[in-house]
Amino acid sequence: MFLGTHTPRMDDKGRLFLPAKFRDKLAGGLVVTRGQERCLYLFPMAEFESITEQMRTAPTTNRAVRDYMRVFLSGASDEIPDKQGRLSIPANLRTYAGLTRECTLIGAGSRLELWDSGAWEDYLAASEQAFADQSEEVIPGLL
């Protein structure tokens, strides 16, 4: 499980250091792809394979399914961190997420999300009050 918020810096070659606590889980490879809200999703390879297996059961006769799969899978890039724990982010994905030098990497359970730090701060500011004011259960039976 991936938890927490980290602020790695991206170098001029589009690489960033993964937090040490995640390196073992990702050492065998991962997939980086477009996420929602213009962030990137980082999945351990086994988790990504599980997701794509679930996608195979979706009805491709449904246009929304086809559209989602096209965007999600066409941006996917399999990567292996180097021996120093650096991850290269492909240029097209850096552009999609608007990544600059200052990045925020958040744990989101089964995946990591990589955000431009300014975009993350804006998202959090816009979402935090709704989170605090939530009067109904978003996930029934959780809290």
CB 43 within 8 A of CB 51: yes
pLDDT digits (tens, 9 = 90+) for 86-99: 999 999 999 999 99
- Fold classification of 5-133 (topology level): Chemotaxis protein chec (3.40.1550)
CB 105 within 8 A of CB 8: yes
pLDDT of residue 134: 75
Domain ranges of the chain: 5-133
pLDDT of residue 36: 94
| Low-confidence residues in the chain, pLDDT < 70 | 135-143
Which of 104, 103, 41 is CA-nearest to residue 75? Answer: 41
Phi, psi for 140 (deg, rounded to 5): -50, 135
pLDDT digits (tens, 9 = 90+) for 117-132: 999 999 999 998 888 7
Query: Could you give the 3-state DSSP secondary structure of residue 101?
Result: coil
pTM score over 0.85:
yes
